[in-house]
Amino acid sequence: MSAVASEHEHTDDHHDHGPAKGWMRWIVTTNHKDIGSMYLIFALIMFFVGGTMALIIRAELFEPGMQFVEPQFFNSMTTMHALVMVFGAVMPAFVGFANWMIPMMIGAPDMALPRMNNMSFWMLVAGILMLASTLFMEGGAPASGWTLYPPLVLQTGDALPFAVFSVHLLGISSIMGAINIIATILNMRAPKMSLMQMPLFVWTWLITGFLLIAIMPVFAGAVTMLLTDRFFETSFFDAAGGGDPVLYQHIFWFFGHPEVYVMILPTFGIASTIIPVFARKPLFGYSSMVYATASIAFLSFIVWAHHMFTVGMPISGELFFMYATMIIAVPTGVKIFNWTATMWKGAMTFEAPMLFSIAFVVLFTLGGFTGLMMSIAPVDFQYHDTYFIVAHFHYTLVPASVFILMAGGYFWIPKWTGKMYDERLARLHFWLSAISVNILFFPQHFLGLAGMPRRIPDYATQFSDWNMVSSIGAFIFGFSQLMFVYIVIKTIKGKDCADATDEVWEDAAKHGLEWTLPSPVPYHTFATPPEKIPTEHF
Amino acid sequence: MKKTKLQLVYLTLMMLGLKSVEASDYTLNLMKGVTKTSNDIYDLHMLTLWVCVFIGVAVFGTMFYSIYHHRKSKGHKAEQFHENTTVEIIWTIIPTIILIAMAIPATKLMIEMDDVSESEMSIKVTGWQWKWEYEYLDNGVHFFSSLDEKSNQARKLGSDIDPRTVDHYLLNVDKPLVIPTNTKIRFLFTAADVLHSWWVPDLGWKTDTIPGFINEAWTLVEKAGTYRGQCAELCGKDHGFMPIVVIAMDKPDYELWVKEQKALAQAQLAAADREWTHEELMTKGKSIYTSSCASCHMDDGSGMTGTFPAIAGSSMVTGDIGNEINIVMNGQGMMPAFGSMLSAADFAAVITYTRNSFGNAVGDLVQPSKIKSLQAELVSANDDDDDDD
Ligand code: HEM
Ligand SMILES: [Cu+2]
Ligand SMILES: [Cu+2]
């Protein structure tokens, strides 16, 4: 199958191509499982890099007054934290799951474009390294927020062109990944599997793939205009030359709003995969889940200016973007109701993947509520650019996307390694995370409402108490995540871990093709497409 | 009906361990503010909040009931239903109706906020890195407003000053904006360098200030008082340190204040005409340097490598005085043009100070009168530009 593996002699006794030997395996591999693992490990490392930056921020905000860093560096930290988390941790983690699981879920032997797959991974690494290198440059890393608004971003020191090129690299990597995923889903499905029989994780990634192809070029274009404004005398965003700084915001958010859905749609997909297994029931409303996902994706392209209610739009613009944003609550609500209905009258058990998934449904709903509140344009004139916003999007990202990434890790790692993870520790990890994430982010609602702007390194003394609480939560949350690393390593090593059965979870084989494969899953799977498609999920 | 509902939610919140929302307004909930707009915003905020709380109680209630009762450990057997078009339609339609009900008051309020007509006076607000400029278009009062000195000292890294001992830490300015009560005021917003956003929560809104563009907003404050806010759009390193203080005064007091301001401006002009001693200029220069220059060039004139050049030992500062005046007057790159920002005396003082501090010892000085004539040239040059348009 893969060019690399075939150059080696068969030394193992079962008739299968094993991976290449030695470390070169990881550089040249075209195997979707290897590449999936690399994406996931890379994402986990970046999660800790971005997390360290977050802890620097929270340490500085522990008390009023400046204790540890200069304001400029603080701004670099908020900017780099966001960029690393979005482009280095959350997105690659979902691509990692896509690589591992999509071929196994649709009965395909590998991704459609395995060499390009390798290239998109290494381009991601190059992009992130280039971004990280700006930390050591004259003038510091970008410090204008992850939104990179001009004119401020044009005041960045030597780092600006490197940040721009790293966005280009990350964009190309994402687009290649998206093309690959779409091609795999549309062309490599087992012949017996129709589109409306695909697991929801596959569906959500199909839609996410199209989102990525549509938006990454837009972002790349926007930052390229920043580059030419700075170095080639153009004035796209400079009023003095006939340009418009707000134009950048429109372009950025045309990318940015769908981008937040790039991070949440696969989250929905994994949750929709996990909840039925542990409720021992089929997913409620399979087809309405698919349509809701598609509607959200469509709507995500026409709501961008809800990030810009205060830039001085004409009233018709304010109203249009308010209505469009409010409508998103409808398909989002449908999803939440469907998950609840899936649990209803099931026979639930609460292993770590299910715990994280339930916490996701509850806490994501909270993030949705604040989203709805902010969609009311006149009220957003108060909320905008405060900690209320910070609380909103962290609820939709941390106890939503990140929790589901953890859930997916626990859910599939027995399949990958053939070993059960330590359930007792995993539950402890869950409870620590679920409690501390709320200590961390819930008080930020209060701070925002009380008037604390976001992206400030120091604050008025009446904000002290909740900031201190939030920082304490942050440190507990941050250190709790080390448990995840410990549990994963322990499972991979496999000592003192029970063997996983092929099905892993009770009756899981009714829910998805991946559970019909042996555990640990062989290096190559579905060389011939499966005959029988599990139909429990629709 | 409405009241009992409210009480119910209120109770639920209390059970959740949240303190009473009403009792501790300031730390937990949005403030009501002091304008009709801000009160309407508050009401709309509460409306959506309650809607969310109700939906949340219903959804989470169902979910937790299910989690409690429908578990395998209790011997519950899973049912296998997985579709029901009727409920899908119901839970699409009902939220839609709720949303429409929310959109109606929201639309009304939005239109009201957008309407700046019939305002009685106009104030132009310009955002600078990192201070605010206020121009009263009707009576010519004009000044800059930046973080007050006590906060500014305390907020330095390693300052050893406990912020809790500073009055209104980070929310105090050297010169507040003063507005009359019971007057519809139109604000015009723009920026000199990067984006900023002018936000006083008690007035109910923030508006972005954008270089090259003008935004509008209005307010009408009924109650005299002091209202504080901050810049709300990231504008560089000192974004967290450019507060806003608005003092609303009853009309007669306000008129008095305007008179005072005019007298002050006169005095400043007069000050520029007399001869200043080196010592006088140095003392004044030090305070101007701290408030206008130190945020970039640092207190000790050492600058920041890569972005802000040092003043100490700079060949530009110790070279020809004309060059230095020119740069400070007209700006360069990230450095703002101080020509119209500082009075002639302040300008002359700070030039003199930089040439004779931080180890610089040129020994010369420049008289305010000289600066005054340069500033006059600057103004007429600008007027010429305008004529060309
Ligand atoms: C019910 C669904 C949602 C609604 C109605 C909604 C609405 C909004 C609105 C109106 C804002 C702008 C607020 C402001 O800046 O004034 C916003 C900001 C944001 N939202 Fe959402 N949102 C929803 C779901 C999500 C999801 C699913 C994610 C990500 C997974 C997300 C991530 C973000 C982020 C990152 C920002 C802040 C961006 C920034 O300014 O840096 N939101 N949301
Ligand atoms: Cu958005
Ligand atoms: Cu600012």
pLDDT, one tens digit per residue, over A446-465 is 999 999 999 999 999 999 99
User: Residue B276 above 90 pLDDT?
Assistant: no
Q: Which residues of B touch A378 (CB under 8 A)?
A: 40-41, 44, 106, 109-110, 113
Helix A352-375 and helix B36-69, axial crossing angle in degrees, nearest 10: 160
Q: How far is B364 from chain A (nearest CA, A)?
A: 33
pLDDT band per the 50, 70, 90 thresholds, residue A17: low
Nearest ligand 1 atom, CA A146: 41
Say what percent of chain A tops pLDDT 70.
96
Task: Determine the residue of chain B that is closest to A329 in CA distance.
Answer: B95
What is the pLDDT at residue A534?
83
What is the pLDDT at residue B24?
38
Q: Bridge-partner residues for B196, per DSSP? A: B209
Helix B278-288 and helix B344-355, axial crossing angle in degrees, nearest 10: 100
DSSP assignments along B229-264, one per residue: EEE-S--STTGGG-EEEEEEE-HHHHHHHHHHHHHH
Q: Bridge-partner residues for B247, per DSSP? A: B178, B226
Cβ within 8 Å, pair A378-B78: no
Cβ within 8 Å, pair A312-B99: no
**Least confident range of A135-149, A168-182, A414-428, B354-368:** B354-368
Largest interatomic CA distance in chain B? 96
From residue A354, alpha-carbon distances to A26, A256, A407, A410, A427 in Å are 32, 30, 7, 10, 10
Residue identifier of the C-alpha nearest atom 14 of ligand 1: A384
Nearest ligand 1 atom, CA A256: 38
Measured torsion, CA atoms of residues B188, B191, B196, B200, in degrees rounded to the nearest 10: -30
User: Residue B378 above 80 pLDDT?
Assistant: no
What is the pLDDT at residue A347?
92
Region A118-129: mean pLDDT is: 96
User: Residue B16 above 60 pLDDT?
Assistant: no
First to last CA, chain A: 32
Residue identifier of the C-alpha nearest atom 7 of ligand 1: A371
Q: Give the whole-angstrom CA distance, residue A199 versus residue A411.
A: 15
DSSP B290: I
pLDDT band per the 50, 70, 90 thresholds, residue A16: low
Task: Determine the residue of chain A that is closest to B83 in CA distance.
Answer: A285
Say what percent of chain B tops pLDDT 70.
90
Q: Pairing between strand B185-191 and B177-180? A: unpaired
Task: Provide the token pair at B203.
Answer: 């007035």
Task: Reply yes or no on whether A146 is catalytic.
Answer: yes
Write the CB contacts of A181 (distance below 8 Å, at least 6 apart in sequence).
A95, A98, A102, A111, A205, A206, A208, A209
Q: Give alpha helix (H) positions in chain B.
A: 2-15, 25-28, 36-69, 85-114, 149-154, 251-273, 278-288, 294-297, 315-318, 321-330, 344-355, 368-388
Residue B190: HSE in the Cβ half-sphere, 13 Å Cα cutoff: 11
What is the pLDDT at residue A366?
96
DSSP assignments along B112-168, one per residue: HHH--TT-SEEEEEEEETTEEEEEETTT--EEEE-B-HHHHHHTSTT----GGGSTT
- Other CB atoms within 10 Å distance of the CB of residue A423: 13
Of the candidates A58, A81, A419, A511, the residue annotated as catalytic is A81
Q: Across all residues in chain B, what is the average pLDDT?
A: 87
pLDDT band per the 50, 70, 90 thresholds, residue A1: very low
User: Residue A401 above 80 pLDDT?
Assistant: yes
Domains of chain B: residue spans and CATH: 31-62+85-115 (no CATH), 119-267 (2.60.40.420), 274-388 (1.10.760.10)
Cβ within 8 Å, pair B27-A319: no
Residue B197: strand, helix, or coil: strand
Say what percent of chain A tops pLDDT 90.
90
User: Residue B388 above 50 pLDDT?
Assistant: no
- Other CB atoms within 10 Å distance of the CB of residue A108: 23
Q: How far is B147 from chain A (nearest CA, A)?
A: 12
Q: At A530, which amino acid appears? A: P
User: Residue B389 above 50 pLDDT?
Assistant: no
First to last CA, chain B: 63
pLDDT band per the 50, 70, 90 thresholds, residue B78: confident
Task: Provide the token pair at A264.
Answer: 């949440």
Cβ within 8 Å, pair B48-A379: yes
User: Residue B10 above 70 pLDDT?
Assistant: no
Cβ within 8 Å, pair A345-B52: no
Region B139-160: mean pLDDT is: 90
Task: Provide the token pair at A284.
Answer: 């409620």
**Least confident range of B15-24, B216-225, B288-297:** B15-24
What is the pLDDT at residue B373?
84
Of the candidates A306, A384, A392, A394, the residue annotated as catalytic is A306
Residue A527: strand, helix, or coil: coil
CB pairs under 8 A between A and B: 296
Closest to B208 (Cβ–Cβ): which among A310, A342, A346? A310
Q: Give the whole-angstrom CA distance, residue A45 versus residue B150.
A: 43
Of the candidates A39, A203, A261, A416, the residue annotated as catalytic is A261
Q: Give the whole-angstrom CA distance, residue B193 versus residue A426.
A: 51
Among candidate residues A244, A381, A400, the one with its CA nearest the CA of residue A336: A400
Among candidate residues A313, A319, A299, the one with its CA nearest the CA of residue B105: A319
Q: Which residues of A touch B244 (CB under 8 A)?
A: none
DSSP A453: B
pLDDT band per the 50, 70, 90 thresholds, residue B381: low
**Residue indicated by tokens 């019971």:** B182
User: Residue B73 above 80 pLDDT?
Assistant: yes
Residue A349: strand, helix, or coil: coil
Closest to A382 (Cβ–Cβ): which among B79, B205, B216? B205
Ligand 1: list residues with CB < 6 Å.
A 147, 260, 263-264, 306-307, 325, 328-329, 332, 368, 371-372, 374-375, 380, 383-384, 389, 392-393, 396-397, 401
A140 lies within 8 A of chain B by CB? yes
* pLDDT tens profile A308-343: 999 999 999 999 999 999 999 999 999 999 999 999
Residue B385: strand, helix, or coil: helix
Helix A403-417 and helix A91-106, axial crossing angle in degrees, nearest 10: 40
Residue A177: strand, helix, or coil: helix
Of the candidates A307, A384, A419, A537, the residue annotated as catalytic is A307
Closest to B230 (Cβ–Cβ): which among A365, A370, A453? A453
**Residue indicated by tokens 């309405």:** A288
Are B176 and B226 in contact, with CB atoms under 8 Å apart?
yes
Task: Provide the token pair at B70.
Answer: 């429908």
* pLDDT tens profile A352-394: 999 999 999 999 999 999 999 999 999 999 999 999 999 999 9
Query: Using alpha carbons only, what angle is made at residue B44 by residues B43 and B45, rounded to the nearest 5 degrees?
Result: 90
Task: Provide the token pair at A366.
Answer: 């909270």
Closest to A326 (Cβ–Cβ): which among B52, B62, B99? B99
pLDDT band per the 50, 70, 90 thresholds, residue B21: very low
A376 lies within 8 A of chain B by CB? yes
pLDDT band per the 50, 70, 90 thresholds, residue B384: low
Q: At B263, which amino acid appears? A: A
Q: Across all residues in chain A, what is the average pLDDT?
A: 93
Residue identifier of the C-alpha nearest atom 37 of ligand 1: A393
Burial A6-19 (b: 16+ CB within 10 A, else e): eeeeeeeeeeebeb
Cβ within 8 Å, pair A66-B157: yes
Are A1 and A109 in contact, with CB atoms under 8 Å apart?
yes
User: Residue A112 above 70 pLDDT?
Assistant: yes
User: Residue A344 above 60 pLDDT?
Assistant: yes
Helix B344-355 and helix B321-330, axial crossing angle in degrees, nearest 10: 130
User: Residue B270 above 50 pLDDT?
Assistant: yes
Cβ within 8 Å, pair B306-A337: no
A460 lies within 8 A of chain B by CB? yes
* pLDDT tens profile B115-138: 999 999 999 999 999 999 999 999
* Portion 120-139 of A in contact with B at CB < 8 A: 138-139
Q: Give the whole-angstrom CA distance, residue A375 versus residue A371.
A: 6
pLDDT band per the 50, 70, 90 thresholds, residue B80: confident
**Residue A512 or B4, more confident:** A512
Residue B220 phi, psi (nearest 5): -145, 105
User: Residue B269 above 90 pLDDT?
Assistant: no
Task: Reply yes or no on whether A272 is catalytic.
Answer: yes
Distance of CA A437 to the CA centre of its chain: 17
Q: Which residues of A touch B156 (CB under 8 A)?
A: 66
- Tell me which of B37, B117, B197, B234 to substitute to probe the interface with A (most A C-beta atoms closer than 10 Å): B234
pLDDT band per the 50, 70, 90 thresholds, residue A12: very low
Nearest ligand 1 atom, CA A264: 30
pLDDT band per the 50, 70, 90 thresholds, residue A263: very high
Q: Give the whole-angstrom CA distance, residue A266 versus residue A261.
A: 9
Task: Reply yes or no on whether A17 is catalytic.
Answer: no
Q: How far is A383 from chain B (nearest CA, A)?
A: 9
A246 lies within 8 A of chain B by CB? yes
Are A315 and B114 in contact, with CB atoms under 8 Å apart?
yes
Task: Reply yes or no on whether A318 is catalytic.
Answer: no
User: Residue B251 above 90 pLDDT?
Assistant: yes
Are B130 and B242 in contact, with CB atoms under 8 Å apart?
yes
Are A352 and A407 in contact, with CB atoms under 8 Å apart?
yes
What is the pLDDT at residue B3?
46
Q: Which residues of A touch B29 (CB under 8 A)?
A: 446, 449-450
pLDDT band per the 50, 70, 90 thresholds, residue A124: very high
* Portion 396-455 of A in contact with B at CB < 8 A: 446, 449-451, 453, 455
**Residue indicated by tokens 């890195």:** B129
User: Residue A538 above 60 pLDDT?
Assistant: no
User: Residue A294 above 60 pLDDT?
Assistant: yes
What is the pLDDT at residue A409?
97
* Portion 148-167 of A in contact with B at CB < 8 A: 149, 151-152, 155, 157-158
Q: Give the whole-angstrom CA distance, residue A473 versus residue A437.
A: 6
